[in-house]
């Protein structure tokens, strides 16, 4: 008989919390509410090709980008699933300029939620994998409603982070600082079941993921690094293959499972790249580090960056530890293609 246990995400979270003496169950409640929001978003995303839901909502988000209907929907679903549970004191979403307050009359709690409701949404019309990304902090202000100060914490202070991928299967990957775990959704029973326990990213991969259309604006070190990856060298498994979905959450998921490196560097047009520190870089860095990988802005660890603004951007190099280390050496000009291969 197959002896492996069937574990729902809810049970996994509760058991994880039980391991911490003094835990109140508050945190489990928060993640349970989030899981419900993911199911609702999944239901709409999976209908996207069937109903007339595709197309622009006719608005621009705070970054001046076009907002799709599903972004608006996902943004609202998460807020409405999380605003009344009493677990949170404040939220912030990639789609909104300011912090999102808990409405008057609802209890506030000790946690802070930051989220990107639908990463990769420009791919919706092509039915490409997209996802919701989240990041949870403990509040730092004394009580009542939370403030910007509660949201602007460095990534190493995250107490949990994860994403829900809406792809050929739907899957939640999350960490609470005790490894990275994946749960695949079984729609027939409406549950996320443990499918990838303690994910470990390979020490070095064979795939690089970057938008090479930006090549002409890259700095020299970046150009040399990609050239290096394309050279042939059996000892270091080069050339690498390239894969770029253009939906970060999907590119990160592949990187987590197969290894290699995902990059969105700064360049001469956009010195800080495109990705947002608080909604994208911090949560995926926590997840990848917990799987044994690493993450950098090219100079230093992403999780150590002290944020100055809710929507600030950062260059991002994330994936297998050896790959990120070599990328940093190139970006910092400490290494050249002619340097001895390793």
Residues that bind ligand AFP (CB under 6 A): 65, 119-123, 211, 246-248, 274-275
With contact defined as beta carbons under 8 Å apart, do 78 and 40 qualify? no
Quote the tokens at residue 228: 């290096």
Q: Measured from the CB of residue 248, what is the shortest distance to ligand AFP in angstroms?
A: 3
Is 71 or 322 the residue whose CB approaches ligand AFP more closely?
71
Kindly state the DSSP code that residue 218 receives in the 8-state scheme. S
Q: Determine the Cα–Cα distance for residues 103 and 132; give it in Å rounded to an integer.
A: 23
Residues in the chain: 342
Is 7 or 62 the residue whose CB approaches ligand AFP more closely?
62
Is 65 or 186 the residue whose CB approaches ligand AFP more closely?
65
Quote the tokens at residue 62: 């705070």
With contact defined as beta carbons under 8 Å apart, do 67 and 57 qualify? yes
Q: Measured from the CB of residue 293, what is the shortest distance to ligand AFP in angstroms?
A: 17
Q: Determine the Cα–Cα distance for residues 165 and 96; give it in Å rounded to an integer.
A: 22
With contact defined as beta carbons under 8 Å apart, do 256 and 292 qualify? no
Residue identified by tokens 């508050």 is 26
Q: Measured from the CB of residue 292, what is the shortest distance to ligand AFP in angstroms?
A: 22
Q: Measured from the CB of residue 22, what is the shortest distance to ligand AFP in angstroms?
A: 38
Is 275 or 327 the residue whose CB approaches ligand AFP more closely?
275
With contact defined as beta carbons under 8 Å apart, do 342 and 236 qualify? yes
Is 30 or 263 the residue whose CB approaches ligand AFP more closely?
263
| Bridge partners (DSSP) listed for residue 191 | 186
Is 65 or 83 the residue whose CB approaches ligand AFP more closely?
65
Q: Determine the Cα–Cα distance for residues 78 and 75; give it in Å rounded to an integer.
A: 6
Q: Quick one: which of 211, 289, 278, 231 has its CA closest to 256?
A: 289
DSSP string, 101-148: EPPTTS---SEEEEEEEEETGGGGGGT--EEEEEEEEE--S-SSS--H
Q: Measured from the CB of residue 249, what is the shortest distance to ligand AFP in angstroms?
A: 6
Q: Measured from the CB of residue 198, what is the shortest distance to ligand AFP in angstroms?
A: 26
Is 110 or 313 the residue whose CB approaches ligand AFP more closely?
313
Q: Measured from the CB of residue 70, what is the shortest distance to ligand AFP in angstroms?
A: 11
């Amino acid at each position: 008989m197959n002896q492996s246990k069937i574990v729902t995400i809810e049970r996994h979270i509760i058991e994880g919390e039980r391991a911490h003496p003094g835990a109140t169950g508050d945190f489990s409640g928060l993640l349970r509410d989030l899981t419900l929001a993911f199911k609702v978003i999944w239901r709409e995303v999976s209908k996207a090709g069937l109903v007339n839901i595709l197309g622009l909502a006719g608005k621009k988000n705070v970054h001046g980008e076009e907002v799709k209907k599903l972004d608006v929907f996902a943004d609202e679903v998460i807020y409405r699933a999380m605003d009344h549970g009493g677990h949170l004191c404040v939220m912030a979403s990639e789609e909104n300029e300011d912090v999102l307050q808990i409405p008057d009359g609802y209890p506030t709690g000790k946690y802070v939620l930051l989220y990107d409701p639908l990463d990769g949404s420009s791919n919706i019309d092509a039915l490409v994998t997209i996802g919701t990304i989240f990041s949870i902090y403990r509040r730092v202000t004394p009580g009542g409603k939370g403030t910007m100060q509660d949201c602007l914490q460095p990534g190493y202070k995250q107490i949990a982070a994860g994403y829900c991928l809406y792809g050929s299967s739907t899957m939640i990957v999350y960490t609470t600082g005790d490894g990275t775990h994946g749960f695949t959704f079984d729609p027939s029973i409406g549950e996320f079941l443990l499918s990838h326990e303690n994910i470990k990213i390979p020490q070095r991969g064979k795939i690089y993921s970057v938008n090479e259309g930006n090549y002409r604006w890259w700095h020299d070190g970046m150009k040399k690094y990609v050239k290096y990856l394309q050279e042939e060298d059996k000892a270091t498994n080069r050339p690498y293959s390239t894969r770029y979905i253009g939906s970060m959450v999907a590119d990160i998921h592949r990187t987590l499972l197969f290894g290699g490196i995902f990059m969105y560097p700064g360049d001469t047009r956009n010195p800080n790249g495109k990705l947002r520190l608080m909604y994208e870089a911090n949560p995926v860095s926590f997840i990848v580090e917990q799987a044994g990988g690493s993450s950098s802005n090219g100079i230093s660890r992403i999780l150590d960056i002290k944020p100055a603004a809710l929507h600030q951007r950062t260059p991002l190099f994330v994936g297998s530890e050896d790959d990120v280390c070599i990328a940093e050496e190139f970006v910092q000009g400490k290494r050249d293609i002619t340097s001895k291969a390793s």
